[in-house]
Copies of this chain bind each other. A is one copy, B any other.
Amino acid sequence: MNATQDPHQRHEVKVDLIAVVAAVIGNRPCALTIQQGRALPSGPFELGHRSLQAGLRDWVEQQTGHRLGYIEQLYTFADRDRLADELTRAISISYLGLTHDERREGQAPRDWRSWYDYFPWEDHRDGAPEIVESLILPRLAAWAEEVEGEPREDRCQRAAIAFGLDGRSWNEELVLQRYELLYEAGLVEEALRKRGEDATAPIPGRSMIADHRRILATGIARLRTKIKYRPVVFELMPPVFTLLQLQQAVEALSGRLVHKQNFRRLIEQQELVEETGETSSETGGRPAKLFRFRPAVLMERTAAGTKLPVIRA
């Protein structure tokens, strides 16, 4: 079928809104889920919705009781697989939401799940997870061996980049590339679904319906990247916090440990926070100063650019 064949036929397109809502709960980076963790909050875009964002907020609130604050658009998907039926295409518009979960009394508990239940290979806070070395790499290697010549090189190189092999270092931002590599290699449950293969068992890591896990990976990747050049962590923090709490939130999200003193220096030189004057002695050692986010910075930061060797005026 060609695009020009019947230009005036109006095709129905079903548009879904889908949310990756992130929060940090006790050093665990979490996503808001429904259906016992098997799906992300989502629903169709409808006439009643004032905007895409408004529709998304409605669905999330309706399905989880959670009211979203900061959200940003992630990506719009429309795969062949997402064909609803022969005459209707399905499109998903995904959003990333950042929240600080304040569980109030009398509210139904939300179904927050750790990212690392779905992507156990992504948490490098205690060093590289054991399953990478013992399971993932061997099976990726085997997958590369399946083909010859150039394609094999290609598979090897992709694996090496994604998992930081051959002297390369681990890059926590490549969440999506890793998931897609594992998908292609048939190592995750979602990939095994359509091939009727009874063959191999998937590697550890919880699966989700449809392509929700891929969308979650997209959200995680975006957040891990963005956290480095925009002050978005604050959307995930309580109004008042210690620098250690801030650091641990960053560590949870990025899945790696951070040099404490240098992290503080970074935060301070950027003037993102100010002391409240209070301290907290809940951490066991010397009481820590409490900080709050400097609101003025919020607006300015939106504007912070990166570097080019420009000539100053």
Contact = CB atoms under 8 A, between A and B. Distances in A.
Contact of A313 (B62, B127, B229, B262): B127
B306 A228 contact: yes
A204 B228 CA distance: 37
A50 interface: yes
Interface stretch (A6-14, A31-39, A182-190, A270-278): A6-14
Contact of A10 (B2, B14, B266, B302): B14
A280 interface: no
Nearest to A5: B48
A3 B259 contact: no
B308 A3 contact: no
B127 A308 contact: no
Interface string A195-238: 00000000000000000000000000000010111000000000
A50 B80 contact: yes
Interface in A27-77: 43-52, 55, 58-59, 62, 73, 75-76
A123 interface: no
Copies of this protein chain in the complex = 2
A309 B250 CA distance: 11
A307 interface: yes
Contact of A311 (B50, B259, B305): B259
A174 interface: yes
A256 interface: yes
Interface in A244-275: 250, 254, 256-259, 262-263, 266
B309 A258 contact: yes
B259 A299 contact: no
A171 B307 CA distance: 10
Contacts of A258: 308-311
A303 interface: yes
A152 interface: no
A290 interface: no
A250 B313 CA distance: 18
Interface stretch (A85-93, A113-121, A130-138, A281-289): A85-93
A181 interface: no
A51 B73 contact: no
Given A3-B48, A171-B303, A309 B262 contact: yes
A54 to B, nearest CB: 9
Interface string A96-116: 000000000000000000000
A4 to B, nearest CB: 8
26 contacts: A3-B62, A4-B62, A10-B12, A11-B45, A12-B12, A13-B15, A15-B89, A45-B91, A47-B87, A50-B80, A51-B80, A91-B93, A157-B299, A161-B299, A161-B302, A161-B303, A162-B303, A171-B305, A177-B303, A225-B305, A254-B310, A256-B308, A256-B311, A258-B310, A258-B311, A259-B309
Q: 8 nearest interchain CB pairs?
A: A262-B309, A1-B48, A76-B76, A3-B48, A259-B309, A171-B305, A228-B306, A173-B305
